[in-house]
Amino acid sequence: MIFTVTAYYNFAKKLARQAHLKLGKVEIKKFLDGEIYARITEEVSNRNVYVIGASMPPSDNLVEFLLLINALKIAGARKITAIIPYLGYSRGDHIVKRGEAVSAKLIADILKCAGIDYLITVDIHSPRVVKFLKMPLINIRAQELLAHEILRSRKISKIMNRKDRVKKRIVIVAPDRGALPLAKRMAKIFQTDIAWMEKTRPRPDIASVSSLRGNVKDKIAIIVDDMIDTAGTIVGAFRLLKKAGSKEIIIAATHPIFAGPAISRLKKARIFKIFVTDTVPLTERQCFKKVKIVSVVPLIARVL
Ligand code: R5P
């Protein structure tokens, strides 16, 4: 049986269908003071259960998730496997300035303490977060899925048909050091070279991308990252690539957070196409024409 927080109801329905699992009934209410009430209305005693949850803002998502885990635990579930498509608060995985909280460690501790036995998630932000989690987990990689979708576009498949031309025409780009392993995975699939950049954050939510290395001139550049938040990183990388003579720019990013100015920034930039997954539920406004959403549901269903 599979349970879910409200924000992932559609995702859960899809997953339940594909994995041939029953979607467990829950009662979620909000008290007038804003506190959340959660109750599971299914028999789970001695059963293995899945619960889809989120640790991303608003913080109600996390509270609802923790209450569901708690309710399952009290009702005697044997093994609780959490499915967290996008693990929020992961970027706070080390101290940059003295006095800061390490949010990724705190969230990992809270999840463990709530009673999760096993975790399934997608493209965890960094190896540090994996260490913090201290529980058995499956970290699904979305690069193959995104690559597969990019390869379906006519422009790219035409180039790929001429193996001798791929390196001349396509380059995979990491917009910062953190994205390098993802770019390398993607480059392996495309059998081409990578280029990379340096990124600094002079202030929170402000990205400064510079020092492009690698040959991108006259090529289609595929920028790979784990997430698009305010889109500062992507747009910074886009500008640098354009300046260096890239012909066309495609984005392949796993988690479409699309916060603050992201949509207007992405719309303004002359990006050819933005490939993302459905690990974060998007509103209609956020699904604009250039955005192609590829579902991770079949990948998750396969490991259940
Ligand atoms: C950072 O380390 C991440 O991998 C992303 O590059 C970053 O979070 C994207 O944020 P934004 O879209 O706000 O630049």
Q: Which atom of ligand 1 is least distant from the CA of 175?
A: 6
Helix (H) or strand (E) holding 169: helix 166-169
CA distance 163 to 149: 18
pTM equals: 0.95
Q: What are the structure tokens assigned to 258, written together?
A: 């699309």
The reported pLDDT for the residue numbered 153 is 87
Which of 87, 93, 233 to mutate to test ligand 1, by most ligand atoms within 8 A of the CB atom?
Answer: 233
Instruction: Show which residues are catalytic.
Output: 199
Q: What is the pLDDT of residues 182-203, one digit of tens each?
A: 999 999 999 999 999 999 988 8
pLDDT band at 118 (very low <50, low <70, confident <90, very high): very high
pLDDT at 165 over 90: no
* Distance, CA of 62 to CA of 161 (rounded, Å): 46
64 lines ligand 1 (CB under 6 A): no
Ligand 1 atom with minimal separation from the 230 CA: 13
Mean confidence (pLDDT) of the chain: 96
Alpha-carbon Rg for the chain in angstroms: 20
231 CB less than 6 Å from ligand 1?
Answer: yes
The answer, yes or no, to whether residue 42 has pLDDT greater than 90, is yes
Decide: residue 141, CB within 10 A, 0-12 exposed, 13-18 middle, 19+ buried.
middle
Looking at residue 161, its pLDDT comes to 85
Q: Is 66 helix (H, G, I), strand (E, B) or coil?
A: helix
94 CA from centroid of ligand 1 (Å): 15
Q: What is residue 30's DSSP assignment?
A: E
Looking only at the bridges linking them, the beta strands covering 193-203 and 170-174 are: parallel
Q: Atom of ligand 1 at shortest distance to CA of 179?
A: 4
Q: What is the DSSP string of 82-109?
A: EEESS-TTTT--S-SSTT---HHHHHHH
Strands of 104-219 (E only): list them: 118-122, 137-140, 170-174, 193-203, 206-213
Q: Compute the distance between CA of residue 238 and CA of residue 180 in angstroms, rounded to an integer.
A: 16
Q: φ and ψ at 81, to 5 degrees?
A: -100, 120
pLDDT band per the 50, 70, 90 thresholds, residue 38? very high
Q: Could you tell me the distance, in angstroms and rounded to a whole number, from the CA of residue 233 to the centre of ligand 1?
A: 6
Q: Determine which residue's CA is closest to atom 2 belonging to ligand 1.
A: 178
The DSSP string of 226-291 is EEESSSHHHHHHHHHHHHTT-SEEEEEEEEE---TTHHHHHHHS--SEEEEESSS---TTTS-TTE
Residues 198-237 have pLDDT tens digits of: 999 888 888 899 999 999 999 999 999 999 999 999 999 9
Does the CB atom of residue 230 touch ligand 1 within 6 A?
A: yes
pLDDT of residue 34: 97
| 170 ligand 1 Cβ < 6 A | no
Nearest CA to ligand 1 atom 5: 227
Confidence of residue 269 (pLDDT cuts 50, 70, 90): very high
Query: Does the beta carbon of 123 sit less than 6 angstroms from any atom of ligand 1?
Result: no
CA distance 244 to 209: 13
Express each pLDDT in 67-108 by its tens digit. 999 999 999 999 999 999 999 999 999 999 999 999 999 999
The residue-averaged pLDDT of 43-50 equals: 97
Q: Decide the pairing of beta strands 291-294 and 273-277.
A: parallel
Ligand 1 atom having least distance to the Cα of 228: 12
* In the chain, % of residues over pLDDT 90: 92
